[in-house]
């Protein structure tokens, strides 16, 4: 286990000193411009900020206007077919921009770039660059190749790349909340998932660099960070000098100690890896949010085995019980897949009963979409008719809406500490912010409060997705 190290403060200060040289790039007269769109998970959005930093160092300026850009990039997701279809539609839109602005380059980044590299090179005439998740440092060289008329391609996966030394350029940031990537890749090999093939093996980032980035963000006015990884609970970094191991629980504590006013969230947890040490750390630090995203995928043990989730129904239920035992006011969210291969009606009902048991505050819900190259695609027949998948998904969505509504109604009359993120989308007279349980809270403006302030709000009304209240 990792203990407080007397060199931690010194090492962290050195890394912060390096980061203080960063400049948030502003558009300069005559600079080439890049435009980037991101799809999929939070990790993709975090990666886009790394890409923006690399391009800024190479002399490019970010723009929100696609039609005046010299370089158009789309950071892609391969987790579902629908996401890939969206990317193809966007590429056709980008092609029209190229017609009006000759010389503009278009690049595909991320998971879809790695998975469909051959197709992009051989069939997609719309793409000039194809860059995988571990090759972003090579972007300036690849852009140069594309400018010379060659295809800029690098989709090689790495066992070492973590981009730990790159200060992300916070694109479209509200200046209050930010992502920090703490690890890359995944070793879990769930049978339905392409992530291990598109992002490679797990590797954890230097713990000191994570603390330094969190400290730098706090000093710049940010008040919430989300630690990101495909499976944050398997984070493990070894100190090169002492050989002591920093676990995720240790890292969580280190970041929480940056400042009591810096909120800490994390995503995503794999049920098999989240430990009591993590739960006790959450309990012991007020600024670590009481919210865990704990994907179940299915409530049936046989289906979970086919999915290679490495736990069964009862094991997952015991983990939920343990979370509520240690952190009674914790909110748990989840992922559910409807209509996985061979799923029966009775097994679908077990997913519904799991939702009622766990009392998820919210969930991401999808019907099964076969991904080429995965274990499920090779071994199992995608045999559930689409109309059955859609009907089961609607039942899951309908139940989750009911549970979320009950969850929110139970908060009426309670008072929460809320971090103001900015104006409500619907009215400039209201603020919006989140409580520790990751629930959005809307309340009328009052006094001299501003984005980045903590306030206490008493809930007076609620929908399934939003709490409404008043300052106290």
Handedness of CA 263, 266, 271, 277 (dihedral sign): negative
Q: What is the spatial distance between Cα 74 and Cα 397, in angstroms, rounded to a whole number? A: 29
Among candidate residues 407, 438, 457, the one where a domain is terminated: 407
Same domain, 256 and 285: yes
Q: What is the spatial distance between Cα 42 and Cα 438, in angstroms, rounded to a whole number? A: 15
Using 50, 70 and 90 to split pLDDT, how confident is the model at 79?
Answer: confident
Among candidate residues 387, 407, 427, the one where a domain is terminated: 407
**What total number of domains does the chain contain?**
3
pLDDT tens per residue across span 205-238: 999 999 999 999 999 999 999 999 999 999 999 9
DSSP label at 457? Answer: E
* CATH of residue 421: 2.40.50.140
Under a CB-based contact definition with an 8 Å cutoff, are residues 236 and 191 in contact?
no
* CATH of residue 99: 3.40.50.12160
The mean predicted confidence, pLDDT, of the chain is 90
What's the half-sphere exposure (Cβ side, CA atoms, 13 Å) at 343?
30
Same domain, 419 and 377: no
* CATH of residue 354: 3.80.30.20
Q: What percent of the chain has pLDDT over 70?
A: 93
pLDDT tens per residue across span 100-152: 898 899 999 988 887 777 777 665 578 899 999 999 999 999 999 999 988 88
Sequential DSSP letters for 296-358: -B-S-HHHHHHTT-S--HHHHHHHHHHHHHH-TT-EEEEEEEES-TT--HHHHHHHHHHHHHH
Q: Is the pLDDT of residue 82 over 80?
A: no
Same domain, 429 and 308: no
Of the ranges 1-15, 82-96, 281-295, 456-470, which one carries the lowest mean pLDDT score? Answer: 1-15
Same domain, 104 and 198: no
Using 50, 70 and 90 to split pLDDT, how confident is the model at 14?
Answer: very low
Which tokens sit at 334? 């989840």
Same domain, 358 and 214: yes
Q: Are strands 415-423 and 440-444 parallel, antiparallel or unpaired?
A: unpaired
The backbone region for 273, taken as left when phi is positive above 0, alpha when psi lies in -120 to 50, beta otherwise, is: alpha
Under a CB-based contact definition with an 8 Å cutoff, are residues 115 and 84 in contact?
no
pLDDT value, residue 16: 32
Which tokens sit at 422? 């900015």
Residue at 272 is within a domain: yes
Return all residues near 31 (Cβ < 8 A) that are at least 6 apart: 59, 60, 61
Q: Is the pLDDT of residue 271 over 60?
A: yes
State the average pLDDT over residues 187-202: 91
């Amino acid at each position: 286990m990792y203990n407080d190290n007397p060199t931690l403060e010194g090492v962290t200060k050195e890394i912060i000193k390096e980061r203080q040289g960063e400049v948030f790039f502003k558009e300069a007269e005559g600079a080439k411009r890049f435009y980037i769109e991101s799809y999929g998970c939070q990790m993709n959005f975090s990666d886009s900020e790394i890409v923006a930093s690399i391009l800024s160092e190479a002399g490019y300026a970010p723009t929100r206007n696609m039609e005046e850009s010299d370089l158009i990039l789309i950071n892609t997701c391969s987790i579902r077919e629908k996401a890939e279809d969206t990317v193809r539609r966007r590429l056709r839109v980008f092609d029209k921009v190229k017609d009006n602005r000759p010389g503009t380059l278009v690049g595909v980044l991320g998971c879809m770039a790695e998975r469909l590299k051959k197709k992009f090179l051989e069939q997609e005439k719309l793409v000039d660059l194809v860059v995988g998740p571990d090759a972003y440092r090579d972007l300036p060289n690849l852009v140069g190749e594309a400018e010379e008329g060659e295809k800029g391609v690098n989709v090689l996966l790495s066992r070492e790349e973590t981009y730990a030394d790159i200060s992300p350029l916070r694109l479209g940031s509200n200046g209050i909340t930010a992502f920090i990537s703490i690890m890359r890749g995944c070793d879990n090999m769930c049978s339905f998932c392409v992530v291990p093939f598109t992002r490679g093996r797990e590797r954890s980032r230097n713990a000191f660099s994570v603390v330094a980035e969190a400290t730098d963000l706090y000093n710049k006015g940010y008040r919430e960070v989300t630690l990101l990884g495909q499976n944050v609970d398997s984070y493990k970094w070894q100190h090169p000098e002492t050989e002591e191991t920093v676990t995720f629980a240790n890292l969580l504590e280190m970041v929480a100690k940056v400042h009591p006013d810096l909120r800490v969230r994390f995503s995503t947890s794999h049920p098999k890896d989240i430990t009591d040490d993590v739960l006790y750390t959450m309990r012991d630090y007020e600024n670590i949010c009481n919210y865990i995203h704990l994907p179940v995928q299915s409530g049936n043990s046989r289906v979970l085995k086919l999915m290679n989730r490495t736990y069964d129904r009862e094991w997952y239920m015991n983990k939920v019980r343990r979370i509520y035992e240690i952190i009674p006011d914790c909110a748990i969210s989840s992922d559910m897949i409807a209509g996985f291969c061979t799923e029966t009606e009775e097994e679908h009902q077990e997913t519904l009963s799991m939702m009622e048991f766990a009392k998820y505050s919210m969930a991401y819900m999808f019907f099964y979409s076969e991904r080429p190259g995965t274990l499920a695609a090779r071994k199992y027949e995608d045999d559930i008719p689409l109309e059955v998948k859609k009907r089961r998904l609607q039942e899951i969505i309908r139940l989750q809406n009911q549970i979320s509504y009950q969850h929110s109604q139970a908060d009426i009359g309670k008072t929460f500490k809320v971090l103001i993120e900015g104006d409500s989308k619907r009215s400039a007279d209201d603020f919006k912010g989140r409580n520790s349980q990751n629930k959005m809270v809307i309340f009328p403006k009052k006094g001299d409060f501003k984005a980045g302030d903590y306030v206490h709000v008493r809930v007076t009304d609620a929908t399934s997705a939003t709490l409404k209240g008043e300052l106290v």
